[in-house]
C-alpha cells in the first residue's frame, strides 16, 4: 500500500516521464493500493492559484477525477496525523511534507516520492 506525495500525483496525471521506472510500475500496476493525503489539495490549489501549475479545475475537483481514474483513496488529516507531524524531527521544514510523512507512518504506507529529504526520517519508507 502506497501514499503518493503531491508531485507524484501531479506526474501521474500529467507526465509519467517524471516518474522513476519503479514508481511507474507501482502506480500503474493494477495490484497496488494507492492513497493520497487531503493535504495535497492545499498544495495543488496553491500551485494552481500561483500559476505554477496550469489547471482549469479547482484542486478538489481535479483530485476527485484523478482518484476515480486511478482508484486512489483519500486519507484525511486527523488529530493523530497533525500531532505526529509536529513531533517529527525538524529535518523537513515543509509542513505539508511532514503531514504526508505522518500520514504514511500512521497508516503504515510506503511513500511514493522523489523528495530527497523524506527518506531521512526513520518513520518514512520511500519508493522511488
Cβ neighbours of residue 121 closer than 8 Å, sequence gap 6 or more: 88, 89, 91, 92, 101
Query: Helix, strand or coil for residue 77?
Result: coil
Average pLDDT, the chain: 96
Kindly write down the DSSP assignment for every residue of 102-117, as one continuous string.
HHHHHHT-EEE---SS
* Residues of the chain above pLDDT 90, percent: 95
Question: What class is the 2-127 domain?
Answer: alpha beta
- Is the pTM here over 0.85, yes or no? yes
State yes or no: pLDDT of 92 exceeds 90: no
State yes or no: pLDDT of 120 exceeds 90: yes
Is residue 59 within 8 A of residue 37, CB to CB? The reply is no
What's the confidence (pLDDT) of residue 118?
Answer: 96
Domain definitions of the chain by residue range: 2-127
State yes or no: pLDDT of 72 exceeds 90: yes
User: pLDDT tens digit string along 7-49?
Assistant: 999 999 999 999 999 999 999 988 999 999 999 999 999 999 9
Q: Map grid coordinates 502506480 to a residue.
A: 27
Cβ neighbours of residue 98 closer than 8 Å, sequence gap 6 or more: 85, 86, 88, 92
Amino acid at each position: 500500500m502506497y501514499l503518493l506525495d503531491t508531485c507524484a500525483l501531479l506526474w501521474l496525471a500529467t507526465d509519467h516521464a517524471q516518474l522513476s521506472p519503479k514508481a511507474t510500475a507501482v502506480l500503474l500496476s493494477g495490484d497496488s493500493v494507492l492513497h493520497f493525503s487531503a493535504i495535497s489539495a492545499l498544495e495543488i490549489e496553491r500551485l494552481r492559484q500561483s500559476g505554477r501549475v496550469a489547471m482549469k479545475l479547482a484542486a478538489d475537483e481535479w483530485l476527485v477525477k484523478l482518484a476515480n481514474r486511478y482508484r486512489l483513496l483519500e486519507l484525511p488529516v486527523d488529530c493523530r496525523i497533525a500531532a505526529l507531524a509536529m513531533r517529527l524531527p525538524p529535518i523537513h521544514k515543509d509542513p505539508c511534507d511532514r503531514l504526508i510523512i505522518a500520514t504514511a507512518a500512521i497508516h503504515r504506507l510506503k511513500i511514493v516520492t522523489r523528495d530527497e529529504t523524506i527518506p531521512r526520517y526513520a518513520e518514512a519508507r520511500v519508493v522511488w
